[in-house]
């Protein structure tokens, strides 16, 4: 099985296989430090050249920027207590939380990716005898990138990753970055639906402002809290009902009243 696939570099990776061979890998079960591909002598299991930010490595950079999770498989030859006894095992979806360049054990440049297992999945290795549960989560580490879904990714692509309020986009090694913001929030008690009409494509700044009520959108798509009107593209129209729900519940937060004395 291949390590990272697909590895055209044009799309985020769908799956990766951990099967040993990369001396800089580290496997804590729920958290993995995954070494990028290239420059590796598989038979000797060590790095013999620098890695480049291309192909599979560029694909994983796109997973980070887009918030797209990747499927992780572990092979039996992996030197880890989380390796399956035989064959290959599918171990669920992992998020790419961070990536950076480093000098590996052998002194060559490698790319390292921190992967974290998405919540709400039973861990296959906990049912195996002699294997402990997952390592405790590192405290204090917070990733800035917002998780993605197929729907919000589609909305972002329709808008070319440009913010519907200010028109900017953020360029990263993994491509353009924007965030899908739900207009009527998901989850009880708001119970907004996860549909494209309930999603805006926003830059992080305007996403925070929208979530905190500093910015709302009128029936005419005029923006309250920033200049202009909401930018539209063919194929995506935010729902008036959702915008109204947001106004009714968040617009009042927009301007703080004068502080009253006790």
Site for a copy of itself in 27-56 (CB under 8 A): 33, 52-55
Site string for a copy of itself, 230-259 (x = CB under 8 A): ------------------xxx-xxxxxx-x
Dist. CA 103–CA 170, nearest whole Å = 28
Spatial CA neighbour of 61 closest among 207, 176, 156: 176
Q: Where in 113-172 is the site for a copy of itself (CB under 8 A)? A: 119-120, 137-147, 149, 168, 170-172
Q: What is the dihedral of CA 189, 194, 195, 201, to 10 degrees?
A: 100
Write the CA distances from 250 to 95, 97, 244, integer angstroms: 31, 30, 10
Reduced to 3 states, what is the DSSP secondary structure of residue 120? coil
| Segment near a copy of itself (CB under 8 A); pick from 14-22, 86-94, 208-216, 229-237 | 208-216
Q: Shortest gap between Cβ of 251 and a copy of itself (angstroms)?
A: 8
Q: Shortest gap between Cβ of 190 and a copy of itself (angstroms)?
A: 8
- Among residues 3 and 75, whose Cβ is nearest to a copy of itself? 3
Number of residues that bind a copy of itself (CB under 8 A): 73
Maximum distance among all alpha carbons in the chain?
74
- Six-digit token pair at 117? 């297992």
| Segment near a copy of itself (CB under 8 A); pick from 13-21, 68-76, 175-183, 234-242 | 175-183
Residue 262 in contact with a copy of itself, rule: CB under 8 A: yes
Of the candidates 64, 78, 155, 165, which one interacts with a copy of itself according to CB under 8 A? Answer: 64
């Amino acid at each position: 099985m291949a390590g990272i696939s697909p590895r055209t570099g044009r799309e985020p990776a769908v799956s990766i296989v951990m099967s040993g061979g990369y001396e800089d890998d580290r496997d804590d079960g729920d958290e993995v430090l995954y070494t990028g591909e290239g420059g590796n002598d598989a038979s000797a299991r060590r790095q013999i050249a620098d890695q480049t930010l291309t192909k599979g490595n560029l694909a994983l950079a796109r997973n980070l920027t887009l918030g797209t999770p990747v499927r992780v498989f572990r092979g039996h030859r992996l030197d880890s207590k989380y390796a399956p006894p035989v064959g290959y095992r599918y171990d669920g979806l992992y998020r790419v939380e961070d990536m950076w360049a480093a000098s590996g054990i052998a002194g060559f440049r490698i790319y390292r990716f921190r992967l974290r297992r998405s919540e709400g999945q039973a861990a296959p290795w906990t049912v195996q005898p002699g294997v402990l549960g997952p390592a405790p989560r590192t405290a204090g580490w917070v990733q800035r990138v917002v998780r993605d879904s197929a729907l919000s990714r589609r909305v972002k692509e329709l808008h070319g990753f440009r913010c519907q309020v200010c028109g900017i986009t953020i360029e990263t090694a993994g491509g353009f970055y924007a965030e899908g913001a739900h207009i009527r929030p998901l989850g009880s008690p708001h119970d907004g639906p996860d549909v494209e009409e309930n999603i805006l494509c926003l830059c992080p700044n305007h996403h925070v402002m929208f979530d905190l009520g500093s910015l709302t959108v009128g029936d005419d798509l005029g923006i309250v809290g920033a200049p202009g009107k909401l930018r539209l593209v063919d194929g995506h129209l935010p729902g008036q009902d959702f915008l109204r729900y947001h106004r009714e519940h968040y617009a009042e937060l927009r301007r703080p009243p004068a502080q009253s004395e006790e």
